[in-house]
Amino acid sequence: MPSTVAGSSVRCMVDVAPAHGALPADAVVVARLRVRDEAMFAALIDAWSPGMLRAARAYVADDHTAQDVVQEAWLGVLRGIDGFQQRSSLRTWVYRILVNKAKTRGVRDARTVPSGSLSPEGDHGRTVDPARFRGAHDPYPGHWRSFPPAWPSPEDGAVAAETRHQLAAALAGLPARQRVVVTLRDVAGHSSDEVCELLSISAANQRVLLHRGRAALRAALEHHWIKEATP
């Protein structure tokens, strides 16, 4: 089972708030924020705060601090909206404020992610044990020797809750650089280009970090369900 399965599962299984109604175009939102339209600001908070909270949590030590970071970020949005030059999307600009606030607060705890640490240098280990694949002289080189065991269906309420718990724990345990990229991509829903811009990393670095993070999440889930299935 490819590691992308874990990536597609994160948004489904981690507690992601339901989608809100579509927001107006950026130009409309910006114009309304600049005249201090409270209804527009409230709609923006409702739509984006859940994802911002999860993104902030990737940088700081606890949920309470993450909530503080999100509040600080929204204050920063209000203070800076008049100077927003619309060189990026409004969402990217807001998240850039959030990431900067989160990094600043993260200095106070052990989960700080220095910008230089987002490079994948020195992280070249294999994401899946090579022994699980057929060798070069096998009729089907590179294929699984035996398929990974099937996971229980997440349609079962208890299974879904347990999977969410295991995914959240595995995500929290990822190396910092992987945790941040996976959170922004698979939980907050940012595109590759947006994550590269937010974190000032190359597309290649983003791909490596995302792949390794997703593979680690998948491996953690597989280990858990194999253990559960063992008599």
- 134 lies in some domain: no
- Say which CATH number the domain at 193 has: 1.10.1740.10
Q: Has residue 78 been placed in a domain? A: yes
Express each pLDDT in 19-29 by its tens digit: 445 899 999 99
Q: Is the pTM of this model over 0.95?
A: no
In a domain, 147, yes or no: no
Q: Mind spelling out the 3-state secondary structure of the chain?
A: CCCHHHHHHHHHHCCCCCCCCCCCCHHHHHHHHHCCCHHHHHHHHHHHHHHHHHHHHCCCCCHHHHHHHHHHHHHHHHHHHHHCCCCCCHHHHHHHHHHHHHHHHHCCCCCCCCHHHHCCCCCCCCCCCHHHECCCCCCCCCCECCCCCCCCCCCCHHHHHHHHHHHHHHHHCCCHHHHHHHHHHHHCCCCHHHHHHHHCCCHHHHHHHHHHHHHHHHHHHHHHHHHHHCC
Does residue 135 form part of some domain? no
Read off the pLDDT of residues 148-168 as tens digits, 9 standing for 90 and up. Answer: 555 555 555 555 677 778 888
Q: What is the pLDDT of residues 82-138, one digit of tens each?
A: 999 998 899 999 999 999 999 888 877 655 555 455 555 445 555 556 665 566 667
Q: Highest mean pLDDT range out of 5-14, 78-87, 136-145, 147-156?
A: 78-87
**What pLDDT score does 58 carry?**
87
In a domain, 128, yes or no: no
Is residue 132 in a domain? no
Q: Return the minimum-mean-pLDDT range out of 82-91, 105-114, 170-179, 189-198.
A: 105-114
For the chain, the domain total comes to: 1
Residue 44 lies in a domain: yes
> Which residues form the domain of 24?
1-115+154-231
The average pLDDT across 178-205 equals 90
Structural domain includes residue 136:
no
